[in-house]
Structure 1
Amino acid sequence: MLVHICCSVDSHYFLQRLQQDFPDEKLVGFFYDPNIHPYNEYLLRLKDVEYSCHKLDIELIEGPYNLDEWLKKVKGLEDEPEKGDRCTVCFDDRLETTVKKAIELGHDKFTTTLLISPKKSQEKLEIIGNELEKKYNIKWIFKDYRSGKGVEEQAKVVKENSFYRQNYCGCLFGLSAQRESQDKLMDEMFLPISNQILPQSIEYRLELYNNRTNLDETHIPYKIVKQRFLNYRLLNAKVKVDKKIVPSYFLCYSTVNKGKTSGRIAFEKAEIHYLNKDEVKIITVDTFNDFTQSHYRDVKDLMYHPLTFEAELKVRSEITQNPYGLSAIVIIDEIIDGKYEIDIDAKIYEDVKEVII
């Protein structure tokens, strides 16, 4: 039996039940989910499914990540609600591809872990499965493992195994609609040009769950717990001196009142230059090197090869003597005598992140 898998949260308990109900059946997982966006989120869910299938001793096959083709199929349905026509087209695509793969591999049965997801329509999935069964002459296995205490048992299994619990279905359109209704920043779509790993970003979670897998394989005890914290995303920022833009790098948690300010350097102490407005502090890249024991040639080098987010926080704390400070700290190549204009578009918001202890 080929089992289409969407994510470990929905698949692990579902696969356990299939193993119980079909003890003589060879189960093979098929991860085909080109709807998942961005790509690092796709990788995170794939790696978590690999982790799950390894625990269950189930072979896993990865399907193609043909996002462009998927986008063409759902064109015109971008604004459809969850469980609407866009989801139907998505189910059609994923299940028909699963059937074709099953036939290619010599399987005579197919099913999908989408059936157990509370956010998916079992009725639509049953109709699609029945139609594919008739079209391709392959047995469709419909199992409602959601009813009774299924959802409760599923949640218990997820918690016991520390699986990645994603907070959106997967596609860009569902994500944008969900974040808009929540009035939350869609920070899943942020990836700095530097590839710096930001707090609670997909890249952060990918690293965390890779660590979980390594700890599990080496039998080191651990727990994944949640922590509340103040998150930060810099959307864009720039510095002008006497109307000319100069290369600049803004340390994390840099903000100014109303997003912009201007002024001149009022004084300098210990190579930190203080603007006469809005608590802005300016240092050169050489001073930054002294603080961090780094060897950056210039600001451009720093932009593309930054320190870790955590290391930047230590620099901020050292400069301001305040680990929770929000004053702008700007790094430039050299101090220029002139009028500084500073624009910062940044978001600071309460958030929750997972950490391993």
Structure 2
Amino acid sequence: MLVHICCSVDSHFFLQKLQHDYPDEKLTGFFYDPNIHPYSEYQLRLLDVQRSCNKLGIELLEGEYDYENWLQAVRGLEKEPEKGARCEVCFDKRFSVSAEKALTLGEKKITTTLLVSPLKSQEQLKRVGDEFYEKNGVEFIAVDYRSGGGTQDQSRVTKEEQLYRQDYCGCIFGLTMQREQQDRLMDEMFSPISNAILPASIEERIAMYTHRNRLEDENVNYRIVKQKFLNYREFNFKVTLGKKDVLDAYALSYSTLPKKRAQGRIEFDSQNIHYFNRDEIKFITLDYFNRENSTQYKSVKEMIYKPLEMEKELEFRAKINSTSYDLSPIIVLENIPDGKLTINLDSKTYEDVKEKLIII
């Protein structure tokens, strides 16, 4: 039986149940999810599914990540709600590819872990699956592992196995509507030009779950816990001298401007810190930054593309301000200018939750 897999949270419990209910069936996992966006999220879910299948002794095949074709398939349905027409087209596309894969492998049965997801309609899935059975001769096995306490059992297995628990289906359109309803920043879509790993980002999770897999290979005990913290994202930043001379500048993380714009002059300096005459803004030179952090940046532009690790940058910020709770802008320039400056800084701090791996 070919089993279409969407994520480890659904698949691990689902595959365990299939192994119990269909002991004579050779199960083959098929990870085909071109709807997942961004690609880093796709990589993270695949990473956890690979771990899950390895633990269960199930072969896993990966389908093509043909995201552009998926976008074409759902064009015009972007505003459809969850479980609406867009989802049905999405199922249709994934079932068709899964059915073709099953035929290629000589399988006569297919099913999908989407059946166990509380975000999906089982009736909708069964209808689409039955249509493919009529067209392709591949039987769709519509098991119900939600009822009879199944959802609670799934939650227990997810916690016991410490699986990656995503909080959206994977679709960019569903994510957009979900974040709008939650009034939350859609920070999944942030990808800095520097490729820096941001707090609570998908890239940070990939690094953590990859480390988790190594610990398991080495038989090291660990736990994954959640922690609340103040997150930060910078949208855009620019420093202008006079009317049009844009300076190469770098704002340290957690630099904020309430009104997103400030104009003024540097009034004085003390111990290599240059103080602006408003909005608690501080300036430092690249030379000073290099000395204090044992770095060798030749220009601020180089620093923009290859910034210091976030933890080290925050340590330096705390050293300058003598506190870990300061959100004042700290700006790095190659030289301290004499003249009127305009600072445009659009950034946001917000309460968030992230995962942390603890070795025990």
Q: Bin the TM-score by the shorter chain.
A: over 0.9
- Tell me the CA shift for residue 65 of structure 1: 0.3
**Residues of 1 paired with 2:120 and 2:329: CA distance?**
45
**Residues of 1 paired with 2:299 and 2:287: CA distance?**
8
**Residues of 1 paired with 2:301 and 2:275: CA distance?**
23
**Residues of 2 paired with 1:311 and 1:177: CA distance?**
35
Aligned twin of 2:135:
135
**Residues of 1 paired with 2:303 and 2:230: CA distance?**
24
What amino acid is the match of 1:60? L
Paired positions, count: 357
**Residues of 1 paired with 2:79 and 2:208: CA distance?**
33
Q: Are 1:348 and 2:314 an aligned pair?
A: no
Aligned twin of 1:232:
232
Q: Provide structure 1 residue ranges, at least 5 long, that are not aligned to the other structure.
A: none
Contact between 2:257 and 2:347, CA under 8 Å: does it hold in 1? no
- Tell me the CA shift for residue 82 of structure 1: 0.2
Aligned twin of 1:290:
291
- SS of 2:152's partner is helix
- SS of 2:250's partner is strand
Structure 1 length as normaliser, TM-score? Answer: 0.99
Between 1:267-276 and 1:170-179, the stretch displaced more is 267-276
- Tell me the CA shift for residue 233 of structure 1: 0.3
Alignment of 1:310-325 (within 5 A): 310-325=311-326
Between 1:265-274 and 1:120-129, the stretch displaced more is 265-274
Alignment of 1:1-357 (within 5 A): 1-243=1-243, 244-357=245-358
What amino acid is the match of 1:267? F
Moved over 6 A (4+): none
- SS of 1:278's partner is coil
- SS of 1:258's partner is coil
- Deviation per CA, 1:290-335, whole angstroms, max 9, x where unpaired? 1110000001100111111111101101111111110000011111
- Deviation per CA, 1:52-73, whole angstroms, max 9, x where unpaired? 0010010000000000000000
- Tell me the CA shift for residue 214 of structure 1: 1.3
**Residues of 2 paired with 1:117 and 1:206: CA distance?**
23
**Residues of 1 paired with 2:150 and 2:219: CA distance?**
29
**Residues of 1 paired with 2:106 and 2:257: CA distance?**
63
- Tell me the CA shift for residue 354 of structure 1: 0.7
**Residues of 1 paired with 2:353 and 2:200: CA distance?**
8
What amino acid is the match of 1:283? I
**Residues of 1 paired with 2:44 and 2:274: CA distance?**
43
- Tell me the CA shift for residue 13 of structure 1: 0.5
**Residues of 1 paired with 2:138 and 2:37: CA distance?**
31
- Tell me the CA shift for residue 257 of structure 1: 2.9
**Residues of 1 paired with 2:51 and 2:285: CA distance?**
46
**Residues of 1 paired with 2:137 and 2:193: CA distance?**
49
- Deviation per CA, 1:191-216, whole angstroms, max 9, x where unpaired? 11001100001111111111111112
**Residues of 2 paired with 1:324 and 1:106: CA distance?**
61
**Residues of 2 paired with 1:213 and 1:95: CA distance?**
30
- Tell me the CA shift for residue 131 of structure 1: 1.1
**Residues of 1 paired with 2:314 and 2:16: CA distance?**
44
- SS of 1:234's partner is strand
Query: What percent identity do the matched residue pairs reach?
Result: 56
